[in-house]
Amino acid sequence: MDTHPSRHPSLPRPIVGPMQLSESNRLMAEAKKLVPGLTQTMMKKPEMFAPGAFPVYLARGQGALVEDVDGQQYIDFICGLGASSLGHNHPAVVDTIRQHLPEGLLHSLPTAWEVSAARTLVEMIPGGEQARFFKTGADATSAAVRLARIITGKEHLITVGYNGWHDHFMFDTPGVPAVLAQYTQRMPLFEEPDEAALLARIEQTGAQLAAVLLSVPFNRCLTRDFMHALRATCTKHGVLLIQDEVITGFRLARGGAQEFFDVRADFVCVSKALAAGMPLSAVVGPEKYLSRLADTQVSTTFGGELLSLAVCEAVLKETAKPGFIEHLADMGRRLATGINARAERVGSPLRVLGYDAIPLFRFSKNPVENAKLTQPFQAAMARRGILLRRDLNFICSAHTPEQIDYTVDMAEESMRECLGQGSATQAA
């Protein structure tokens, strides 16, 4: 990706004139005929952004910059839906793949990488003694659910947040047997009163509950007091507390949400930043629990794919370096503080909320209204060389202060543009 000599090299090339989307649109037309749902995850569908005013396909990336198939550059805050924790094309990933590719991809017996990657991982996770590797976050959370049922002899679950697409999580979607709805209760933590409701539900149903599977909300920061209360309530009723750290792992703290909240889960699920974009997930916890996976049929051919495991080990070493987590938090605070101050100044309802390293952009608490107000803002930011999701965004280690400050300036311009068009006038 080339740079323009008249600007800072970490900033995108200016988009002159209208956005060019011809190649994106050509690929999209073909994909509509070939790919059910257009792409592999609903979170990347064009309607999640600003259709007709936002790129659909990307071609390459370097650091925190990406380039679309029409040649336009952007500062990337989508970051592979959180997987690209080191940014794009990082040497820890690229050099590891180049070094170990000649060794093969998947062998007929285990490789030493299964042992060394597990060792590195359990050393980072509080309470970690054993780890099993999978490919996706949903693989890991599903394995964790089965493990919890074996350990406790109980079958029911409480889930908080999105934990994957498998049947016991998405029990109310087409194609899932209706009977599964009786085994899982989905509970929110979007507002403070939701905390008491969750604790009360565990008190009421603890005799049937195998586990509470918690993915923290991102519109607000939970307190340590609540997390300690949740831990105590689960322990009281023999309910396992499983921390879904598919997103928070290696972002909130080196040891994840357990370290951040100073609360020990029974075991955790990690993915996304685990291998900085390579397909890998894991369940990690103490031997007394993880060893019980041998008692059930939890098996995957590709869990031992060696390049992802080798990259995982290299990425975890990067994550453990002094200043890595602090940089994510510093850049996230700089972004949120800057945008919120500019929003106050111009009278926009936009607010950046949540955890520093995982900023959530919100115009309205009402989801429909929020989507309506966010879409023109996403389009305006894309024209200025910035890619944002509608809600949850991510800081990666490649983001620079110059990129954050540029984003804040462009956010003010975009908010003014949206206000001038009458598209952002509701209260947040």
In-domain check, residue 136: yes
Boundary of a domain, candidates 302, 319, 336: 319
Question: How many helices (DSSP H) and strands (DSSP E) are in the chain?
Answer: 12, 13
In-domain check, residue 141: yes
In this structure, the answer to whether residues 389 and 250 fall within a common structural domain is no
pLDDT of amino acid 42: 87
In this structure, the answer to whether residues 304 and 331 fall within a common structural domain is no
* CATH number of residue 73's parent domain: 3.90.1150.10
In-domain check, residue 6: no
Boundary of a domain, candidates 319, 334, 360: 319
**Alpha-carbon torsion angle 411, 326, 223, 272, nearest 10:** 80
Structural domain total, the chain = 2
364-421 pLDDT, tens per residue?
Answer: 999 999 999 999 999 999 999 999 999 999 999 999 999 999 999 999 999 999 998 8
pLDDT of amino acid 9: 76
In-domain check, residue 13: no
Dump strand ranges (E) for 57-201: 58-62, 65-68, 73-76, 130-134, 156-160, 184-186
Dump strand ranges (E) for 32-121: 58-62, 65-68, 73-76
pLDDT of amino acid 123: 96
pLDDT of amino acid 357: 97
In-domain check, residue 412: yes
8 A C-beta contact, residue 243 and residue 270: no
CA distances for 158 relative to 132, 174, 258, 349, angstroms: 23, 21, 19, 34
332-355 pLDDT, tens per residue?
Answer: 999 999 999 999 999 999 999 999
In this structure, the answer to whether residues 332 and 315 fall within a common structural domain is no
Task: Give the DSSP H/E element, type plus range, for residue 202.
Answer: helix 193-205
In sign, the C-alpha dihedral spanning 356, 361, 364, 370 is negative
d(CA 334, CA 368): 28
In this structure, the answer to whether residues 188 and 50 fall within a common structural domain is no
pLDDT of amino acid 107: 95
In this structure, the answer to whether residues 252 and 309 fall within a common structural domain is yes
Boundary of a domain, candidates 319, 354, 379: 319
Rg (Cα) of the chain, in Å, rounded? Answer: 22
pLDDT of amino acid 424: 52
In-domain check, residue 262: yes
How many residues are present in the chain?
A: 428
Containing domain of residue 140, as a range? 91-319
In this structure, the answer to whether residues 226 and 371 fall within a common structural domain is no
The model's pTM is 0.93
pLDDT of amino acid 428: 45
Beta bridge partners of 270: 245, 282
Beta bridge partners of 361: 352
Helix %, strand %, coil % of the chain (to 5): 45, 15, 40
pLDDT of amino acid 2: 44
In-domain check, residue 351: yes
Beta bridge partners of 281: 134
In-domain check, residue 3: no
In this structure, the answer to whether residues 272 and 401 fall within a common structural domain is no
* CATH number of residue 218's parent domain: 3.40.640.10
In this structure, the answer to whether residues 257 and 406 fall within a common structural domain is no
Parts of the chain with a pLDDT under 50: 1-6, 425-428
In this structure, the answer to whether residues 165 and 65 fall within a common structural domain is no
Beta bridge partners of 157: 184, 211
In this structure, the answer to whether residues 234 and 334 fall within a common structural domain is no
In this structure, the answer to whether residues 286 and 152 fall within a common structural domain is yes
In this structure, the answer to whether residues 185 and 306 fall within a common structural domain is yes
